[in-house]
Amino acid sequence: MTNITRRTLLKAGAALGTVGALGGHHASAQEMGPYERQLYEAAKKEGQVTWYSGQLSAEPGEAVGQAFAERYPGLKANVIRSTSQVAFQRLSQDLRARTPQCDILSSTDSGHYSFLKREGLLMKFRPKNADGMIEAARRGDPDDTFQICYFGLYLMGYNTQKVSAADAPKSWTDLLDPKWKDQIAIGHPGYSGAIGIWALMMKQMYGADYLKKLERNKPQIGRSSMDPVTLMNGGERAIGIAIPSATTLLSMSRGNPLKLIYPTDGTVATPAPTAIIANAPHPNAAKLFMEFATGPEYSRVITRFFNESLRPEVPPPVGGRPLNEIKLIMPTMAEAEKGVPEMREVWRDVFGV
């Protein structure tokens, strides 16, 4: 947890309001610049790009894949959506078998990238579009091995038919109140990267005992961080914690009786990287995809599904609070790389799964 990142983020939030033609390359579907066209031509020979994605949920993920294929006819994006740890597990299986399958990895566990970078498993590439992104996302990695393409907010929500606004928990510590026994749902850090980050933040703020105390309330454990949202929709559980704001807002927009809670002790933010794997089987298509993911079209698609915009010219999603009004908390990448695997073990000892 560092103040510097938080300040950077707040600036980022402010930047969201301003519309700026910041330098860089703004190619539209009709006219491609020579650079983009050249990359496109090279990519077309490869025909496809395989994207292991643990950040966006299945529906926006597919929409991004479709938008990419529409903008670049002749190219196809294989969107392999899973939880981040499962995506990383599959990548590890590829690497272990020395049979490259994956071009692009998008994970909510930033620790994955410090590891991959150190092992020389990431391709160095700076998308030209990155210069036009919001400030906080502009330089994810000084060495350009990865790029921030996802800004996840993980907070709490409740089913309004089961809990009143006055009763609803306000902070992460409120969840330890015995009155929430058998009411809470959460994902699993062995699957979701974001839950690992969340658990790490809880440990940093409230000590290792936080999870043990939470266990007294017997939260229902799923796999993905999004799982509690569907549990709340169905009324199976009243409160979902460490849930992504985007999935919840999308669900609310479809008429489900949910409401978001921005915890007073901090919303967990995961500025999450996307990177090209060093031995990517489709390197040019991968580069083109990185340009796409840092460009405005991608932000336009994902904000339709209530994800945060990464471009100043694309307005933030409706319904959520602006970033500069929220208290954000996050670990550093080094903390994440060391802490998340540790928290996975702690979690399994505390909860038994």
Partner 1 sequence: MTDTTAPGAAARTASLAARLRNVEPATLLWVALAAVLLVLVAYPLGKLLVVSFETRGTGAFTVDNYLTAYGRARYVEALVHSLELGALAAAIATVLAVPMAWAVSRTDMPGKWVVWIAVLGAFILPPFLAAIGWILLAGPNAGFINQVWRWATGASAPLVNVYTFPGLAAVIALHSFPLVFIFVKSALDLVSSEMEDAANILGAGTWSATRRITLPLVLPAIVGGTIVVFLETIALFGTPAIIGIPARINVVTTQLWQFFEYPVRVEVASAYAMPLLGITVVMIIAQRLLLARKGFVSQTGKGGERRPIRLGPWRWVVFAWCALVGLLAVALPMLVLVQASFAKGWGRGFSFDNLTLSNYEYLLFRHEMAIQSIWNTLLFSSLAATFAAALALLVAYIAGRRLVPFSGALGFLAMAPFVIPGIVMAIGFYAAYAAPPLALYGTSIIIVLAFTARFLPIAYANSTAAIRSVHPEMEEAARILGSGRLRTIARITAPLIRKSLLGGWLLVFIVSARELSSAVFLVGPKTLTMAVLIYDLSEAGNFEVVAALGGLMLVITLALVAVGTRLVGRDFMLRRE
Region binding partner 1 by CB under 8 A among candidate stretches 8-16, 124-132, 199-207, 222-230: 222-230
Please state the closest distance from residue 212 (CB atom) to partner 1, in A. 14
The residue (of 176 and 238) whose beta carbon lies closer to partner 1 is 238
Are 333 and 114 within 8 A, CB to CB? Answer: yes
351 binds partner 1, rule: CB under 8 A: yes
Q: Residue 245 interacts with partner 1 (CB under 8 A)?
A: no
Sign for the CA dihedral angle at 323, 305, 332, 197 comes to positive
Q: Are strands 220-221 and 48-53 parallel, antiparallel or unpaired?
A: unpaired
User: Residues 9 to 48: which contact partner 1 by CB under 8 A?
Assistant: none
Q: Does 231 bind partner 1 (CB under 8 A)?
A: yes
Q: Is 84 in the site for partner 1 (CB under 8 A)?
A: no
In the complex with partner 1, the residue whose CB is nearer, 237 or 311, is 237
Nearest alpha carbon to residue 319 among 247, 238, 242, 253: 253
- Closer to partner 1 by CB, 65 or 331: give it: 65
Q: Count the residues of the shown chain that bind partner 1, applying the rule CB under 8 A.
A: 59
Residue 275 backbone zone (phi > 0: left; psi -120 to 50: alpha; other: beta): beta
Q: Is 78 in the site for partner 1 (CB under 8 A)?
A: yes
Helices (H) and strands (E) in the chain, counts: 13, 10
Q: How many residues does the chain have?
A: 353
Identity of the residue, 24 or 341, whose beta carbon is nearer to partner 1 in the bound complex: 341
Per-residue x/- track, 177-216, partner 1 (CB under 8 A): -----x-----x-xx-------------------------
Q: For residues 257 and 167, is the Cβ–Cβ distance under 8 A?
A: no
Amino acid at 154: Y
Q: Which 307-346 positions form the footprint of partner 1 (CB under 8 A)?
A: none
With CB under 8 A as the contact rule, the residue among 16, 56, 67, 94 that binds partner 1 is 94
Q: 170 and 262 in contact (C-beta within 8 Å)?
A: no
DSSP per-residue codes, 161-196: TTS-TTTS--STGGGGSGGGTTTEEE--TTT-HHHH
For residues 67 and 51, what is the distance between their CA atoms, to the nearest angstrom? 14
- Which residues are at the interface with partner 1 (CB under 8 A)? 50, 52, 57-59, 62-63, 65-66, 76-83, 85-86, 88-89, 92-94, 96-99, 101-102, 182, 188, 190-191, 220-224, 226-231, 233-237, 247, 254-256, 348-349, 351-353
